[in-house]
Amino acid sequence: MGIFKAYDIRGKVPSELNPELARKIGSAFAKLLSARRLIVGQDMRTHSPAIAEAVIEGIRDTGCDVTSIGLASTPMAYFAIGSNYCDGGLNVTASHNPGEYNGMKLCGRGATPISAANGILDIERMVGGDLGLKKQIMRGRLDPVDTLDRFADHVAKFSHVRQPISVAIDAANGMAGYTLPPILDRLPKIRATTMLMEPDGTFPNHEANPLKEANLAPVKQLVIGSNSALGVSFDGDADRVGFVDERGRTVGNDLMTALFAREILMERGRAAVVYDLRSSWVVREEIEKAGGIPIRDRVGHSFIKATMRANDAVFGGELSGHYYFKDNYTCDSGEIAMITALNLLGNTSRPLSKMAAELRRYFGTGEINFEVEDKDAAIAMLKEQFADGRQDELDGITVEYGNLGERAWWWFNVRPSNTESLLRLNLEASEPKLRDQQRAALVALLGEPRG
C-alpha cells in the first residue's frame, strides 16, 4: 500500500484511504503499542471526522481506551500525548497536502515519533493480514476531552516579550486558525494582523505549504500593509512555518534556526542544538559562537527528535520549517516557533531584515531536484567522482572541500527523496562564482534539474 510513508500515513480519500481501512489502522496501531489508552485528534479536512471516528472505533475494537481531543493542530496533539498518561496517539491530518488527501501522524508514549523504522511498516503488514481481534473482547471506552485551553497555556509560557510587537499571520485556512486565537489572547503585548484564519479543509485560497515561495506572497503583502515586524505563514496542520521580514523578504529556515539557537542558548546556557545537514554552514558557526554544541543530523523529524533526546539538546531546526523544542516534549510546533521569533524581535530594536542580512555570508543553490531512475547508482557515481573530498553518508552523500575561514570552500549534499524517484541536491560555497561552477559540474553529472 502506497500510503504508508517514511514518517506518516498519507493518501487520497477515498481511493487510497477510507474509513474501512482507517479502522484497521486503528486496531493495528493499538496492537503495535500493546496500548491501554491512546489519544486521537483530527484536522479540519472535510473527511477527517469520518476517518478519525473509524480510527477510534478500530482502537476500541482491541479493548484499548481512547481520549478524543477533537479538532487539533499536530503540535496540539503532540502536547496532549506528551502531557497525559497514555501509551501514545495520533493526529488525523495530511499536513500541507491538498484537500483530497488525508492521513495520520503517529506517536508512542511521551510523544516519541512512530516512523517506518519503528512501526509504520509493521502497521502496514498487520493491516494486510489477520489482525486477530477477538469478537468477545470488551471494547475500549471513549472519553472526549477539550485540550485547547491547556495547549494555549502551554504555548503562552514560551513567550517572554518585554515590549509590544506586531506580527502578520497567514493561517492558510489550516489548523493554526483554530489554535492561535486563544494563544494570542494570552499574549497582550503581541499585536496580530491575521488572514485566512477560518479552518477550511478544501484550502480555497492557496496551498498550505510555506516552503513554496508563491504561498508566501499573501503574508508578504500583509506584513508590509500592516507595518508589522514579522510575517508568519503556517502549513495545514501548523507544525511548520515560513518567515518573512518586515520588508517582505523570505528568511530561510536555516537562518531562522541560527537565530533561534542564539536566542535559546542565551537563555539556557551551553547546550546541544541539532540541525539538518542541508543547512548553511552559518548555522554551525552561529551555534558555536553562542557557546552551543552543534550536532548535524539527517533529514526527518524522527531522526532529529531521537538525536535531540540522546544529546539532551534544547532545540532543533530543519530546512523544511520544522522547529523542535526540548520543553515541548522534544516536538515541533509552528505556534512555539512563532513565539520564539517574537521573543527574538520583541527584546531588541534591530529588525529581522538586518539580523538575516548578517547571516547571508555564504552562497547556496537552494534545493534542486533531479529525476533519477537508479538513485543508489547515482550516489555511488558521485562518491567515486568526488573521492578527493571529505565524505560522509549520514543521509545520501555529503562531500566537503575546504573549511570555514578559508578563502575558497564548498560542499554539497545529494540525498534520495523518501517519497519520489528524485535526488535532492543542496550546495553552498564561500563565493558565488565557485557555487555556480560546482553547480554546473553536478548538473552535468545528474542531468537536467526537474522543474
> What whole-number distance in Å separates Cα of residue 408 and Cα of residue 389?
14
Contacts of residue 359, Cβ cutoff 8 Å, sequence gap at least 6: 255, 258, 259, 280, 282, 286
Rounded to 5 degrees, φ, ψ at 137 are: -65, 145
Residue closest to 280 by CA, chosen among 412, 189, 370: 412
Residue for grid cell 571529505: 390
Q: Is 83 a catalytic residue?
A: no
- Of these residues, 27, 48, 73, 95, which one is catalytic? 95
CA 197 distance to own-chain centroid: 20
3 state SS for 13-49: CCCCCCHHHHHHHHHHHHHHCCCCEEEEEECCCCCHH
Residue for grid cell 541539532: 274
H-assigned helices in 239-351: 253-268, 281-289, 301-311, 334-346
Contacts of residue 149, Cβ cutoff 8 Å, sequence gap at least 6: 182
Contacts of residue 279, Cβ cutoff 8 Å, sequence gap at least 6: 254, 257, 317, 319
Give the DSSP H/E element, type plus range, for residue 429. Answer: strand 422-429
Residues across the chain? 451
> What whole-number distance in Å separates Cα of residue 322 and Cα of residue 419?
18
> What whole-number distance in Å separates Cα of residue 56 and Cα of residue 124?
18
Residue closest to 104 by CA, chosen among 36, 23, 207: 23
Residue for grid cell 536566542: 263
- C-alpha count within 13 angstroms, C-beta hemisphere, residue 187: 32
Report which DSSP code applies to 54: H
Q: Hey, which bits of 145-249 come out as E strands? A: 165-170, 190-195, 230-234, 241-244
Report which DSSP code applies to 160: -
| CA dihedral of residues 77, 82, 87, 88 (deg, nearest 10) | 30
Residue closest to 88 by CA, chosen among 116, 64, 56, 111: 111
Cell numbers placing 416: 534520495
Which residues carry out catalysis? 95
